[in-house]
Amino acid sequence: MIAATTRRTAALALVPALALSVAFAPAAFAQDAGTKTQAQEQTAETPDAETDAPDVRDIEVPEDRVTTFTLDNGLQVVVLPDRRAPVVTQMIYYKVGAADEAPGESGVAHFLEHLMFKGTSNYPEGEFSRKVAEVGGQENAFTSDDYTGYYQQVASDQLEMIMTYEADRMSNLVLDEETVLPERDVILEERRMRVGNEPGAQLSEIVQATMFVNSPYGTPVIGWEDEIRSLTRDDAIAFYDKYYTPSNAILLIAGDVSVDEVRALVDKTYGKIEQRAQIEERDRPSEPEPRAERTVTLRDARVTQPSFNTSYLVPSETTAEDNEAAALDILSDVLGGGTTSRLYRDLIVEKGIAASAGTYYQSSALDDGTFVLYGTPRGGASLEAVEAATDAAITDLIENGITDEELERAKNRVRKSVIYLRDSQTAMAQRYATALATGRTIEDVEKWPERIEAVTVEDVNAVARKYLKPERSVTGYLLPEASETAEATTPADATGKPGEPAPSPASLTPVPNEPAEGEPMVESPS
């Protein structure tokens, strides 16, 4: 199996920064949230007739659109009917992720995710995946800081089949040394490929560890190499027995189904599973209030284009007070969310000094998240110039605030994103699953557009002034390796002036997390 990681990027379509709170992100190094992929950097909204978007409050949601019920064994079931095509998506989310691992066992959540494909007492290894492939379906799995998910998409008449197999591996997984140890080697190789061979991923890990000094979010989802090496069969089984139980899971069925049909199939499959463990409320160390601005620098011979990213510690949708999360969404869109954003217009269009510049808000975490700015110089421009222009844009926004026009444009983009999101049953299902796995409710998801509509100019200005402070930030610099004949320069010296070492053009762009929302993750296609 292959794995990718993300603290908060999207495996489906890329969406505007503001849409991150409603998008779903099953892949892309969760720990690589400090930077953007090249595709993300180059994707921008096309300015169009934004004012033509309908008011999101006028978009009616059928009362039976989302139904939820809980089985006697504690499994929460959510049904999202969508009759447009004879297709159904099944997602099972376990409310446990890398941030719930015991000290010294980093990577065990992702390790177990791989091992879940190794067969059960009822079905041999690979049979589930073969059955999905035989009917033309798709499947995948992913691990994040806060949850671990498995999903399949098949023709709707195959729903009972995938339910049967998924329910079986919730309770009947079989692991032996001959299965476990080779898979551990696969994960070590995955880490070498996705972190050891990627300077951007290495920097993201460092930035994350520097940002979260007490929170478990400072540990990479894939795990530290030395700790992965020490993981055993017993570690995986103990994690499985403790967390992979019905009352710690959320089952989402989206597509061409009825609630009655799903209820009958769930009772027949998942309803037979006994509760194996008593799940306690997650109690994690919290991140203390940051007191000092921090910077980290990574130089590597494979880097040909310098870049920087600055992460600010901010509340997530779960931890935010009042309507701050919605205001941070708007702030991200206005400052760096697309071709009409301030950073894009100033650094890319007007000054022409940046190849990429933008922001994203990683909001879908159980604990606090991050608000990230990034930039890469273009041509002969210096990294110092790009960073200085970004700082100036932040200063101007804090001092003068956003305008009514900027607020309305941002809201219009959200209205559109809500409509487009409903076009994908998997995206909608993942949005609900992510919310439920991180302490929110179905009502929170449904009311999100209303919270966006309620945001005012002063709300956005307030969160900018409150959270975009240097002492709340960690800035990571990715630089080419210094020449042996040239004196090493810091980012502040890289001005490109005659007689001074200047960064070379063309790049190996660092890879991040999710944007996606979410949140960091490791995805493992089977």
E strand intervals along 331-449 = 354-362, 369-377
**In the chain, count of helices (H) and strands (E)?**
16, 13
| Distance from C-alpha of 201 to C-alpha of 220, rounded to nearest angstrom | 10
229, 61 Cβ separation under 8 angstroms: no
254, containing H or E segment: strand 249-255
DSSP 99: G
For every residue of 121-160, DSSP letters joined together read SSS-TTHHHHHHHHTT-EEEEEEESS-EEEEEEEEGGGHH
Query: In whole angstroms, what separates CA 244 from the centre of its chain?
Result: 22
222, 29 Cβ separation under 8 angstroms: yes
Catalytic one among 41, 45, 113, 519?
113
| Distance from C-alpha of 442 to C-alpha of 329, rounded to nearest angstrom | 19
Q: What does DSSP say about strands 249-255 and 521-523: parallel, antiparallel, or unpaired?
A: unpaired
State the amino acid at position 314 in one-letter form: V
Q: Which residues, in sequence order, are CB contacts of 474 under 8 Å at separation 6+?
A: 207, 210, 211, 294, 295, 296, 310, 311
For every residue of 423-448, DSSP letters joined together read T-HHHHHHHHHHHHHTT--HHHHHHH
Classify burial at 469, counting beta carbons within 10 Å of its beta carbon; exposed 0-12, middle 13-18, buried 19 or more.
middle
Query: In whole angstroms, what separates CA 284 from the centre of its chain?
Result: 20
113 counts as catalytic = yes
Residues labelled as active-site residues: 113
